[in-house]
Amino acid sequence: MTTHSDVNPSHGATLPSDPKAHHETFPWKHILGFVLSLVLTFAALGLVLSAALPLTAVIVSIVVLAVLQLLVQLLLFMHLTERHGPATHVLTLVFGFFVAFTIVAGSAWIMFTFHATVA
């Protein structure tokens, strides 16, 4: 996080900008993102319909593909990396993913093992 107060632009250039991003005349990033998202979607669908891999491998692969798609949305569409001041939103989002992972993995772990209390 920045060590300067970023409340007042007139106090100094605390809002860095990326002028390049705003002079593009053709939406290359968006088209790349769209193509990638289609490719990833159909790859996942193909994996499931072809039934070529064992069950666990299929599930792991399609979850990985979904995570890649999430990155496509965040990086190519949502301007996640554009920084105007400290990257608080990135930190918050990362912590959100940590909590989300804890909830999903933790719940599955707890709920699927709770019959096994006695040997």
Partner 1 sequence: MAYQLDAHHAPVDSSVPLEYATEDGSLKILGFWIFLAADVVLFSCLFATYIVLQHNTYGGPTAQQLFDVPGFVTETLLLLTSSFTCGLAIFEMHRNRLQPMIGWWIVTILLGMGFVGMEISEFAKYVGEGANITRSAFLSAFFILVGTHGTHVTIGIFWMLGLLVQLLRYGITAITARKAFVASLYWHFLDAVWIFIFTVVYLTGKVS
Partner 2 sequence: MLPHYFNHLFVTGTDIYIADVLIILTSLGIVGVLTYFKKWKWLWREWLTTVDHKKIGIMYIIAATAMFFRGGMDGLMMRTQLAVPNNHFLGAEHYDQVFTTHGTIMILFMAMPYLIGLINVAMPLQIGARDVAFPYLNAISFWTFFFGAMLFNLSFVIGGSPDAGWTSYAPLAGPTFDPGPGENYYLFGLNLAGIGTLASGINFLVTIIKMRAPGMKLMDMPMFTWSTLITSILIIFAFPVLTVALSLLTFDRLFGSHIFSMTHGGMPMMWVNLFWIWGHPEVYIVILPAFGILSEVISTFSGKKLFGYSAMVGSMVAIAFLSFTVWVHHFFTMGAGPAVNSFFGVSTMLIAIPTGVKVFNWIFTMYRGKIRFTTAMLWALAFIPTFVVGGMTGVMLAVAPADYQYHNSYFLIAHFHYTLIGGTVFGVFAGLYYWWPKMFGFKLNERLGRWNFWTFIISFNVTFLPMFLLGLMGMTRRMYTYPPGLGWSHLNMIETVGAFGQAIGMMFLAVNIVWSIKYGERDVTGDAWDGRALEWSTTSPAPEYNFAHVPVVYGRDAFWDMKYGKNREKYQVKAKPYRPIHMPNNSGRPFLMSLAFFISFWGFVFKWYLVGGLGLAAVFVFMYLRSFEYDTDHYISVEEIEHTEAAAGRL
Partner 3 sequence: MSRMLSPKKRRGLAFAALSASVLLLSGCGSQIAVLHPEGPVARQEYNLIIWSFILMAFVGLAVFILFAYMLIKYRARPGVEKYYDPNLEGNRKLEVVWTVIPLLIVIALAIPTVKTTYALTQPPVQAHDPMEIDVTSAAWKWIFQYPGQHIETVNYLVIPTGVPVKFILTSVGPMNTFWIPELGGMEFTMPGANLGLWLEASKSGVYLGRGANFSGKGFAHMQFNVYAKPQAEFNQWVAQVKAQDPPLTMAQANQLVNHHGLSPILTFSSYPAGAVPQNQNTLMSGM
| CB-based contact 49:37 (threshold 8 Å) | no
Whose Cβ is closer to partner 2: residue 47's or residue 86's? 86
Q: What is the 3-state secondary structure (H, E, C) of 12-38?
A: CCCCCCCHHHHCCCCCHHHHHHHHHHH
Q: Could you tell me the smallest distance in angstroms from the CB atom of residue 6 to partner 2?
A: 7
- Name the binder of 57 from partner 3, partner 1, partner 2, none, CB < 5-8 A by kind: none
Please report whether residue 75 would count as binding partner 1 according to CB under 8 A: no
Q: Which residues bind partner 2 (CB under 8 A)?
A: 1, 3-8, 11, 85-86, 88, 92, 95-96, 98-99, 102-103, 106-107, 109-111, 113-117
